[in-house]
Structure formats: C-alpha cells, structure tokens
A and B are shown apart, each in its own frame.
Chain A
C-alpha cells in the first residue's frame, strides 16, 4: 500500500488534531505507520489516491467526525485555452490555481502529492504524469505538441540547456522518456515542460509561488482525468480557486458528482445490519457523499475524487467504514463443513514420518533456484521454466528436482558434525500437458553424508521406505550423470520409474564443496502414492 509523508502541522492547519489523525485516520483507510517529529507516515489504501495528501486525509477525518459532512465544494472556473498539436502522448488536461499559499508544509505536500499520483495512479507516469509550474513565469499562450529532434531547454535543477535526447540519456528522470515519442509544452518563450520526464527550470515552483499551472498528460484518458479530478478536489479543499483550461472547446475534467442508486436492503444484506435509509444517508454524508433521496433506494452523489466507486457494494463498504468496523458485532457463521486435508498432504506427512523414523532431519528450501544449482553442479541438463524478470541471478527458475536443494544444504554445513542425514519433501515445476504447459509435482530427496556412506546404506533407506508404504518395487542399475557408474539404481514401482539413488560422483561432490561421500536419492511422490 502507498505511504505518504504528512507534516502534522499541515493537518492541524486543516483542522485535524494529532489524536484525531492517529485514531480516526486508521478508521478511514489512512493508518499512521511511523512518526518522525512533525513528519507522520500514513499508509493509505491504494483505492484512495485522494488521500495521498494532507487535504484528502483531513477531509476524510473531519467528515468521519461529523465536523464537515456531505459533498465537498469542488468548483473550477473556465480558464484560458490550451492548444494541442499532435503529441504521441495524446491525453491531456490542464488547469491553473490562483492565490495559493505554499509557505511551510503545503509546498512539500503539493510536490509529493503530484509525484505519488503520477507514480501510483499514473502507473509510474506511463498512463498519467503531472507537471506543476509557476503560472506567473509563463508568458503568452501555451501549446502542447509533438517535439522536433534536437529541441533544447533548461530542465529542472540544471544550469544549461539540454536537448530532449540528452535529457533522456543523462538526466536522473530521463528514464521516464524512454520507449515513447517526445512531446513538449511551450509558451511564448520556449519549452516549459517535457512530459512525462521533466519541467523547465524557468517555471519552477517555490514556496513563494502565488499562482500555479498544472498539466497532466498520459496515454489513458480515464487515468489522466482521474488524476486531474483528485488534484483539483484536494486543492479546492484549501479554498484555492481553480480554472480548468479549455481543450478542444471544452473545460475538462467534468467535476460534477456521479449519481448512483443504492438499495437500503442491499447495504443491509452485505453488512448484516438493519439500518434505516436515514441512518445510511447520515453515514454516507459523513463519508462525504451527497444524498438526494433517503428512501429504500438511496440516490447517492459520488464526489469526483472517489474514483474507486465502481459498484453499489463500494458504497456499502463506505457505510461500514462510517458505521465503524469495530462497532459491528461479529457473528460466527453456521456453515456446515467437514474438514479434510488433501491426500497429497496426508501422504507427504506419512513419508516425512518414515524418514524421521529412519533418523533423518527434515529441511526446507526455496522452490526458486538457478540453472547453476539445478544443472551445472549436478552435471545434468533439465528443462526448467524461465523467469523473465528475476531479481537476482540466484533465483531465475523453479526447481525440477529437489536433490540439488538438499546438496546445497549439505554444502552449507560441510563444517558441521557428521554424519548428516537430511531429507526434503517439496514442490517442483515440471513440463506437463496443462493449460500453462507446466505441472507442480511433489518430490522427496534425501542424502546421507559421512566417512563411510555408501550405496548399500542408501538402498536400505529406500527399501525401508518403500516396504513401509506397502509397495513392491524393482531396483535396476541406472546411468545417471550425477552418480558413480554402477553405484546408481532406479526404483521402479508399477512399471514406472519412481526415482533413483546412488553414490554421488566425486566431481559432483566437489562442485558442492563436499569432502565426504554422499549417498542420496530422489522419489517422485506421485509415483509412489498408493
């Protein structure tokens, strides 16, 4: 969930006390995670990007407390025209904000808010990005257009002009410009913004800025409008005057509330309550909705910043939030059910029990692994899946067999007391004829390591296990690249190879930095499950 840093003094300015921020915040989806002096970190749920700023949190808290209820006043006049050329990032909204006061925490709040919106709602600036400028430093009409190669301007925090190509290559924010066409905002004096990458130094906003120009561009028209609606709504919360610029003859976004009909009976059936229409209406007004008609079918007015309301069930949740989750009496549902574990689980437990009886310690490893461990160190080639976005070279695939995990364990314990007898029962991912082309398979691997570990000791273990499982089996000599020739055997159960075991080749031992003989093996549990 996103985390936003809020200066508690800013919240106080907006009419919320420390105690209210702490206790009520949590009840309205903004949980205080950490406090560092005046800076409080709120974890805000991702459906409520409108609370990624002080204004949004204050609005919700004051509403919950009944201090300010109903639809907030969200108005925006019509502003100047924004001319739009033919930019590849074609969705655009712009507005200006007059007579702002960015002294103190409000400045940092605004900068963080637009960044968070672009990152979270704007999907890392791809779907929507925000540029905030000092309106008073913009002269003449503003145009949003595609860029020409080689165009230059002074980007934010830079001293000299750079070409757009240079910015993308060298500027810390250049990464946002990769992979799509270039477009710019331009006023009479030149480029003021290169979305979604960087603004110009010339129109930089400071604590002294009095009037703002905000441009939002992107690839998803809905996201661009949502970001605009939320920003405008929150700026209005401070009483600042917003003007929506006219694009294509229309001042956007539409800030009028949406009307949603919600049945009282539906709300009560979802929540398990018996609330009357008037009670629901009162709660919804505290949650900053408007209510037109408090009847069995309530007409709810959804404010523009509540982009999370998709279905009446979302309104029902707000009723629960307003009612207070902890004011509801929990009821244990009387639903019949006979508990059971999967046969696979029971069988794995039985096998684990036998291995423990045979003196083995169970170990637990990751399914994620690398071809180096799965193949190279074992001297084999197995086809595993390929993770397209691994975060480290140690984990680029899923294991196809468990034995390498067990040897990795022995390797990590080569200076510990011997004998070592360990086993693991774990999932593997192997090719299969399923809808994904892969299957998940449980396998058992065991290993015995000490000065005199040998094939016979391993065979005793395998046979003890199979005998205890009530199986009949065949042991045949097997050639396996990990094992010493003639000291490896396959285990056949019901005409199918269920596994193998043997003495590891010295070169395999050395690959794992092991200096003791190891007898080990692997059984496919599905093939030995009675």
Chain B
C-alpha cells in the first residue's frame, strides 16, 4: 500500500491507551475463582458485546451455562501483545501496519486512511515531514525550466528611486538638503535672483501665475532688492534701469526654478562661514507637453559658499559631479547666460552611447544677487535638468513615461542603478 498513510480513530487511540475491550474483558475474568464470571455480572461493562465477540473469536473465552470462562489461550493472551495491539502502535508511530491486520483495524473502525501519500511526492506537506511519510516516497522530478507564475513585488517608482540616488550622491559629497514652497513669491523666484521685472521668463508663456498675492515680510531686504534692480545700489552695477514694483514682487507664481530654494537658503544661512546645499524638487513652466517637454519636472540644484571661491572651482565641482553622478569620462564647458550668475557656463558630458549631451548650467552668483542678501562670500551655483538624465538611465524615450500611469510597466520595470 505504498504511499498511503493511516491514523488511529479516537476509538483506536482510546484502545491503544487503555487496552482493547477483549483484553479488558479477560483481565476482568482472570484471577476470579475458577477463572469464570457470570454473564449477568459482565454485561454492565462498557463495550461488552464487542469485547465478548472478539474474545470468543480469539478463543480466549468459552461459555459455560451462565458463566464466561477464560481458556488456556486466554490466559496466555494476558501476557503478550496481540497482532492487533502491535498494529495499533505501529499505525500511531508510522502511519502504517501489516496489510492483514490493517484490514481488521479498519473494519473495526480503529484506524482510517490518512493523507494520500502518492508514490511520488509533488508537494511536500507538514504532515509528511512529521509522520515520516517522506521516507517512503520519491520526490517527483521537477522541470526547472517550466514557466513559473509571474509575481510582482511592491517597489519604488523607478524615477523616485533615481531621484533618491541623486540625493545620496549629493549627501556623499557633503551637501545638505534644502527645500522651498511650490507656491512662491515672484520675489524669491525672480527678483532676488536679479531677474528684471520685464524679463521674458516672467511672462505668461514661461511662468505659471497664481491668483492672489502675498507679502514680503522682510521690508529692508525688499528695499535692497529694489535698489539693486533700479540703480545697481552699492554693487558697482548699473542695475536694470527700470522702476521696481513691490506689488509685482509680491505676486504669486508656481516655483519655476529651484534657484528660489537656493536664494532662501543663502539668506537664512548668510552668517555661516561656509556652506554646501542642494535641492531636488519640482518646477513648473508652461509648455506644450510632448515627448520631450513636461510642464512639471525635476531640477537639481547645488550651491557652495566659501571664501575665495572662483570660476575654476565651479568647473572643478562640475567635473567632479559629472564623473561621480553621471559616470562620464569627459566634460566640455560652454559659455552660457543666466540672469543670476556671471560667469555662466553650460555643462556637456560625453555619454558612451549618446555622445555629447547637455546636462546643466552653472555660474557664480552675481554681486547684484549676493549684496541684497548680505552674503559676503562668493557662491557657486549649478543646476541640473534631472529629466534628461533620468530618461537615459531608465531607458525611457518619452519624458512623459517618467510619470508613467501604466501599472504593467511599473511592475515589470527593472531596478536601475546609477
């Protein structure tokens, strides 16, 4: 019966613990004078009829008138284990017993078939492990090449993982993180950064304007910014030469550049001897959304403030950053323009497959930016467009896929390392 397993029924277990009823019967008769007892005195014993019929069948007792009398075989049986008893023990221990006895045990309802143990085990079960049934069976051979069901782990969104990795790089390079609000005053987004109030970037096709207006709590800062715009103030600059309007500066926009965070951070920390800050956040700019344009996208921004910083230090930071973060062997610096930095530079890096790509812009903050903020040391600032880098690393050709709404893509997308 290879493979099949048996177990005791409650009755079988009871008999194993307290003895078979036929054994109990003969024990009751044994030792009484003449080794016989009146039937009338025995019938009250539980299970008498079963006990009596089996004892008689075994030839342990015979009937003498109104007496039940123990036979010689019955006397012998008292001192030894019957096949039935042995089989009960065997079933309890290993789930199996010799076939003949097993049949009797089953017919008496003392044992039943347990779990099916096939000739070959497909699925190992706890019972098999406990009962030892596994010892008798063979494990079914698996085709290790057969397809397994597809399961999806819970995981980070690939783009947010990428952003976290970039953050970690900044941290490793000793930069501390800063942030600024999404709804921002034009003041911090533009004016402090010496972007003239008639600068094209401040028009409706480059900036999202928000209903309502705010206040600039630091009036003396506002006054300094006004002077630097109008006349250059004490900086030696000519300024923009046009009237600076407080109300315009107090208008609300959606942050259009993370440089707003740098400006706020610089002002708060202007007294520190030196600092290294970074910010990775979303910026918002009107555009036509297509394969290469989003109206909401991430920028990374870093600044370093310290005595004696110069343009070569800026190039040093950019080069180092390209090597560590972008893993590029070659960089190229191209003169550029940003209203808040001078000199300004754009950074191109050589990608092994894509060739030269532009990854960001940088510069030294202009005196017209630093003086009103009361920052007395040179400040290096650079910004990276993260979407382009993310697209390269995630193998995405449509920028909209960075914010993919396709759960299948997310489920299947492999983890990307920088």
Binding site for B on A (CB under 8 A): 1, 26-29, 31, 45-48, 120, 123-124, 127, 220, 222, 269-273, 308, 310-314, 316-317, 320-321, 325-326, 328-333, 335-342, 344-345, 349, 352, 355-368, 385-392, 395, 398, 408-409, 412-413, 416-417, 420-422, 427, 429, 434-440
Q: Is the CB–CB distance between A366 and B403 below 8 Å?
A: yes
Q: Is the CB–CB distance between A338 and B286 below 8 Å?
A: no
Q: Is the CB–CB distance between A367 and B173 below 8 Å?
A: no
Chain B residues closer than 8 Å to A26, beta-carbon distance: 334
Q: Is the CB–CB distance between A272 and B159 below 8 Å?
A: no
Report the bound CA distance from A29 to B26 in whole Å: 116
Q: Is the CB–CB distance between B304 and A333 below 8 Å?
A: yes
Determine how close the nearest CB of chain B comes to the CB of A510; give it in whole angstroms.
19
Q: B12-56: contact bitstring with A at CB < 8 Å (1 yes, 0 no)?
A: 000000000000000000000000000000000000000000000
Question: Which listed residue, A316, A366, A391, A422, touches B342 by the CB 8 Å rule?
Answer: A316
Q: Is the CB–CB distance between B210 and A385 below 8 Å?
A: yes
Q: Which 8 A-B pairs have the closest CB atoms?
A: A337-B174, A272-B310, A339-B171, A337-B276, A272-B312, A317-B343, A45-B337, A330-B315
Q: Is the CB–CB distance between B210 and A386 below 8 Å?
A: yes
Question: Which listed residue, A45, A120, A222, A436, touches B241 by the CB 8 Å rule?
Answer: A222
Binding site for A on B (CB under 8 A): 152-157, 159-160, 164, 167, 170-179, 181-185, 198, 200, 203-204, 208-212, 214-217, 232, 235-242, 252, 254, 274-276, 282, 284, 286-289, 295-296, 304, 306, 308-313, 315-320, 332-337, 342-345, 364, 366-368, 378, 380, 402-403, 405-408, 410-411
Report the bound CA distance from A416 to B336 in whole Å: 47
Q: Is the CB–CB distance between B313 and A333 below 8 Å?
A: yes
Chain A residues closer than 8 Å to B334, beta-carbon distance: 26-27, 31, 325
Chain A residues closer than 8 Å to B402, beta-carbon distance: 364
Report the bound CA distance from A94 to B335 in whole Å: 34
Question: Which listed residue, B198, B296, B345, touches A367 by the CB 8 Å rule?
Answer: B296
Interface of A is mostly: loop
Residue of A nearest to B214 (CB): A436
Chain B residues closer than 8 Å to A366, beta-carbon distance: 296, 403
Q: Given A311-B236, A333-B317 in contact, is the A436-B184 Cβ separation under 8 Å? A: yes
Q: Given A29-B337, A325-B333 in contact, is the A335-B274 Cβ separation under 8 Å? A: yes
Q: Is the CB–CB distance between B252 and A436 below 8 Å?
A: yes
Q: Is the CB–CB distance between B343 and A320 below 8 Å?
A: yes
Q: Is the CB–CB distance between A47 and B337 below 8 Å?
A: yes
Question: Which listed residue, B232, B241, B337, touches A311 by the CB 8 Å rule?
Answer: B232
Determine how close the nearest CB of chain B comes to the CB of A153; give it in whole angstroms.
31
Q: Given A330-B319, A412-B405, A435-B215 in contact, is the A359-B336 Cβ separation under 8 Å? A: no
New A-B pairs, 6, CB < 8 Å, besides A272-B310, A311-B236 = A311-B232, A320-B311, A337-B173, A359-B154, A385-B252, A388-B211
Residue of A nearest to B306 (CB): A335
Q: Is the CB–CB distance between B319 and A363 below 8 Å?
A: no
Q: Is the CB–CB distance between A440 and B181 below 8 Å?
A: yes
Question: Which listed residue, A27, A328, A391, touches B311 by the CB 8 Å rule?
Answer: A328
Question: Which listed residue, B152, B164, B171, B173, touches A361 by the CB 8 Å rule?
Answer: B152
Chain A residues closer than 8 Å to B345, beta-carbon distance: 325
B200, B276, B289, B311 — most chain A CB neighbours (10 Å)? B311
Report the bound CA distance from A429 to B335 in whole Å: 37
Q: Given A398-B182, A413-B405 in contact, is the A338-B174 Cβ separation under 8 Å? A: yes
Q: Is the CB–CB distance between B209 and A389 below 8 Å?
A: yes
Report the bound CA distance from A271 to B315 in whole Å: 10
Determine how close the nearest CB of chain B comes to the CB of A26; give it in whole angstroms.
6
Report the bound CA distance from A368 to B174 in whole Å: 32
- Jot down 28 A-B pairs with beta carbons below 8 A, ordered by A: A29-B337, A46-B200, A123-B203, A270-B378, A310-B238, A311-B342, A320-B343, A325-B333, A331-B315, A333-B313, A335-B274, A335-B276, A336-B174, A338-B174, A339-B170, A341-B171, A341-B177, A356-B153, A364-B403, A385-B183, A386-B210, A387-B208, A389-B208, A389-B286, A392-B289, A435-B215, A438-B183, A440-B183
Q: Is the CB–CB distance between A337 and B336 below 8 Å?
A: no
Question: Which listed residue, B154, B178, B216, B315, touches A435 by the CB 8 Å rule?
Answer: B216
Chain B residues closer than 8 Å to A47, beta-carbon distance: 337
Q: Is the CB–CB distance between B403 and A271 below 8 Å?
A: no
Q: Is the CB–CB distance between A313 and B276 below 8 Å?
A: no
Chain B residues closer than 8 Å to A344, beta-carbon distance: 179
Residue of A nearest to B288 (CB): A391
B176, B304, B332 — most chain A CB neighbours (10 Å)? B176
